[in-house]
Amino acid sequence: MTETQTEQFDLIIVGSGSGNSIPEYMNDWNIAIIERGTYGGTCLNVGCIPSKMFVLPADAALSAQRSGKLNIETQYNGVDFAALRDRVFGRIDSISASGRDYRATGSPNVTLFEGTARFAGDKLLEVDMNEGPQRHLTAPQILLAAGARPVTPPIPGLAETGFHTSDTIMRLPDLPKRLGIIGGGFIAVEMGHVFSALGSEVTMMNRSNGLLRGFDNDVAERFTEIFSQRVDLRMGHVPTKVERNDDGIVITHGGEKIVVDELLVATGREPNSDLLDVKSGGLECHDHGTVVVDDTMATNVEGVWAIGDIANSYQLKHLANAEAAVAFWNIANPDKIRRQSYKAVPGAVFSNPQVASVGLTEQDAEAQGVPFTVGKRDYAGTAYGWAIVDETSFAKVLVNSETGLIIGAHILGPQAATLIQPIIQAMEFDQRAEDIAQSVLYIHPALTEVVENALLDALA
């Protein structure tokens, strides 16, 4: 085969994260998967799964340091960080490798291409292979599931000094004595929790005056207040210089010099649409780089579809999986089109405290002119809240005062990602707040009573 020959497929998938979830009803399709990095995508290798496997030990370590409020004496004696790291990635790396091997050798209808793809024309992809000559692929159907990558801010000296992103920070050889974090979003606060709980001195630098910007103001303000008791927060400035000397990494921030041993840059992620040169394939993009799709996951080019981080700004694995299911169905069943709902897209921050959110914030609702009432109740107002001696956590709901439908919910505290689930269901299926507050039973004295109380407060 010469370099210029074009290989034909029924379907080309770019990206092996959610794009790897090929349904059985496509077993007779001739499919190509293109992957430029580690097989399995962000969630498996550098995102949701490994980070939560670090969060749980961090939660345990923090709990041991705070047991005095329960009138018991426990202590945290440190972490074997290398063993923790190896346990986490020993499992994850084997899953990635087995997934890669299965697609490379065990899927008779799938051909794996390991390299970087880019559009060279209408439904024509060039692949710069990690090994071997460039390949040219085409198909009547193409699914873009190529994800996103960490953003590197233009701070003088940063690139030359060396730093970590979420792709590498969890694979450190040892627990750093001093860790600097630039950023204030969910990755920054999750890793800030992990390393501070395990024993690092964490300094977090953020251009905003608080953490979790974009979340409901009540949540962001309370979270920042609580987190500042564990982490040295330096807010309101962007670092102006980074350099390395004999003492470590020196960060100039707000006129001060902060010295750390390792530096995590967590200032956001950008879609990989530019690496794919999607415009050469005729695809339209939003200003922030995501590919324009409709709720069928179709782009403006017939036969080209996009899902996940390259197609939306949520950057949530559960949404990418749902979009993948819709896209695969529509590719295979063009006469029975399905649509993805975005009515109630939830998200959670697995820091400590934990945060969960769905729908509009109070600020969103005000800006949109939606008539609403707010219900807010503290964990401390429930029996289980008394049991865990919680004095800071709360649940908050927003209800449309004309329709009675829930338009948003925000929970900060233990089990937040679990507690919000009935609200997600209610929003998706248009269940009125009155019905789910008064027509179902909430187990007493479970923590779910805080959700019930918040709903009742909104209806009062």
- Contact status, residue 122 vs residue 137, Cβ threshold 8 Å: no
In terms of phi and psi (left: phi > 0; alpha: psi -120 to 50; beta: otherwise), the region of 162 is: left
Q: Nearest 5 degrees, angle CA 263-CA 188-CA 216?
A: 155
| Strands 355-359 and 406-412, sheet pairing | antiparallel
CA distance 260 to 163: 11
Structure tokens at 15: 């990206």
- Contact status, residue 39 vs residue 100, Cβ threshold 8 Å: yes
CA distance 147 to 270: 9
Cβ burial 330-347 (10 Å sphere, 16+ → b, else e): bbeeeeeeeebeeebbbb
Q: List helix spans (H) across 29-150.
A: 41-45, 48-65, 81-101
Nearest C-alpha neighbor of 326 from the set 307, 345, 303: 307
Give the CA distances from residue 190 to residues 181, 318, 341, 344, in Å, rounded to whole numbers and listed in that order: 11, 18, 28, 23
3-state SS, residue 173: coil
Greatest Cα pair distance, the chain, in angstroms, is 74
CA distance 157 to 154: 9
Residue where the block lists tokens 């507690």: 419
In sequence order, the β-bridge partners of residue 378 are: 394
Of the listed 164, 193, 318, 444, which one is catalytic? Answer: 444
Is position 193 annotated as part of the catalytic site?
Answer: no
CA distance 136 to 161: 38
Structure tokens at 301: 């080019």
The count of other CB atoms within 10 Å of the CB of residue 250 is 17
> Which residue numbers are catalytic?
444
